[in-house]
Amino acid sequence: MIAMLGKFRKFDTAWTLINDMRAANLVTPHTILIMIRRYAAVHDVARAINAFYGLRRFKFEIGMDEFQGLLSALCRYKNVKDAEHLLFCNKTVFPLNTKSFNIILNGWCNVVVNLREGKRIWREMEVRGVKHDVYSYSSIISCHSKANNLNVVLKLYEKMKGLGIKPDRKVYNAVIHALAKGRLVKEARGLMKIMEEEGFTPDGITFNSLILPLCKSRMLGEAKQVFDEMMERGLLPTVRTYHGFFRVLRTGEEVFELLERMHTTGCHPSHDTYIMLIRKFCRWRQIDNVFKLWNEMSKDGLDPDQSSYIVLIHGLFLNGRLGEAHKYYLEMKEKHMLSEPNIDAMIQAWLAGKTDADANADEHVFVSRDDQSICSELEDKVRMESKKNQMDNNFRRKPELRRVTREKGFSFWDN
């Protein structure tokens, strides 16, 4: 209940409920941690810190575990810079250790995915004499893997083994991902065997680490072999697994065949799945398949959200289906969803053009121009208006310059 209230930003109501729980002696440190996480989710760092120190008000001790819980909550929602500031400002009360640094390192490497900041924290640990452990290596290797730094990944992997630090499942997954991105399929499969020999059975994340880069490299044959092996092991593909294949399919038949197989394996498409496919079919100018997907979305129990409407309206507009785009635009507005400024501008420009055309039409006969040409004209109009506004802004920033002509001892302004 408290988590739900915080999710909808009903923080005052949540605190009222917590005070009622306090009277019944039901409040625990985890209760306060939920509030800290909710504040961190909306990037209200000040109130998250106040909630942390509010543990004393409920007569709870504030120790290292609680402090690290605060750091984790902040980093989880990308408040990594604030979490790092807290870590160093409170080093006398909460001494620096490997776990606290790992929370910040993971925030930079895997949440924000900023390799430069991750490397800085990695060096800071070395300077302050804080030892790296398997979780430290897991974070930095994962970040280098995402940045396509295969050589660095392999060097760190060998270094940690040389130091006697045994890789865990996350390290193996990150190295396999890096090898697959480098198209070293044989080496990635070899590492999977080593992983099993060390007692780590490959899971769905392991297979995704191999399948997704192969799909991106358009090595579909190898990706399908890995996919079949995944099914033989009894591991169910996830939505991410299917997304890798959807991104590289070339025909509508292949898309709907894979959708059918997706349902057969018990994996149901998400909003992101339908948005990606609607955008793909709009790019292919297969509008019938767009509407087919739109209807299937409802059958799967997914109500179209704001992003779904925006992608559909924009795709219809670019394909010259202006009337249908306007229909779904009105439907989105009826559901009190916000549109985007460029969508509003295009719809309003089309409506203005349509009104002018109706006014000039014959009483009984109305001959309209092709919607595709109207769409092109509206796009040109919006582009020209934007260019004109930019030129006006640039003109205003420049000083006024007028040329002077000198003739017979007199100076004249040029017109």
What would the pLDDT profile of 43-79 be if each residue is shown by its tens digit? 999 999 999 999 999 999 999 999 999 999 999 999 9
What is this structure's pTM? 0.79
DSSP class of 398: S
For residue 107 the two structure tokens come to 């925030």
Closest CA to 68 of 111, 33, 42: 33
For residue 110 the two structure tokens come to 């895997």
Assess whether pLDDT exceeds 50 at residue 395. Answer: no
Model pLDDT for residues 102-139, shown as the tens digit of each residue: 999 999 999 999 999 999 999 999 999 999 999 999 99
Average pLDDT over residues 172-195: 95
Assess whether pLDDT exceeds 80 at residue 364. Answer: no
SS3 label, residue 204: helix
Residue 350's pLDDT is what?
87
Assess whether pLDDT exceeds 80 at residue 175. Answer: yes
Percent of the chain with pLDDT over 70: 86
* Mean of the per-residue pLDDT values of the chain: 88
* Residue 244, Ramachandran bin (φ over 0: left; ψ between -120 and 50: alpha; else beta): alpha
The secondary element (H helix, E strand) that includes residue 412 is strand 410-413
Q: Which amino acid, one-letter code, is at 354?
A: K
**DSSP class per residue in 288-334:** HHHHHHHHHHHHTT----HHHHHHHHHHHHHTT-HHHHHHHHHHHHH
Residue 375's pLDDT is what?
59
At 368, is the pLDDT very low, low, confident or very high (cuts 50, 70, 90)?
very low
**DSSP class per residue in 152-199:** HHHHHHHHHHHTTPPP-HHHHHHHHHHHHHTT-HHHHHHHHHHHHHTT
At 321, is the pLDDT very low, low, confident or very high (cuts 50, 70, 90)?
very high
Which are the contacts of 187, defined by CB distance < 8 A and separation ≥ 6? 179
DSSP class of 232: H
Percent of the chain with pLDDT over 90: 76
SS3 label, residue 404: strand
Closest CA to 214 of 261, 177, 250, 258: 177
Assess whether pLDDT exceeds 80 at residue 382. Answer: no
Do 143 and 106 form a contact (C-beta atoms < 8 A)? Answer: no
Which are the contacts of 208, defined by CB distance < 8 A and separation ≥ 6? 238, 240, 241, 244
At 351, is the pLDDT very low, low, confident or very high (cuts 50, 70, 90)?
confident
Assess whether pLDDT exceeds 60 at residue 300. Answer: yes
Average pLDDT over residues 159-164: 95
Model pLDDT for residues 203-246, shown as the tens digit of each residue: 999 999 999 999 999 999 999 999 999 999 999 999 999 999 99
At 264, is the pLDDT very low, low, confident or very high (cuts 50, 70, 90)?
very high
In angstroms, rounded to a whole number, what is the distance separating the alpha carbons of residues 39 and 43?
6
Q: Which amino acid, one-letter code, is at 106?
A: N
At 365, is the pLDDT very low, low, confident or very high (cuts 50, 70, 90)?
very low
Average pLDDT over residues 374-382: 59
SS3 label, residue 237: coil
Residue 373's pLDDT is what?
59
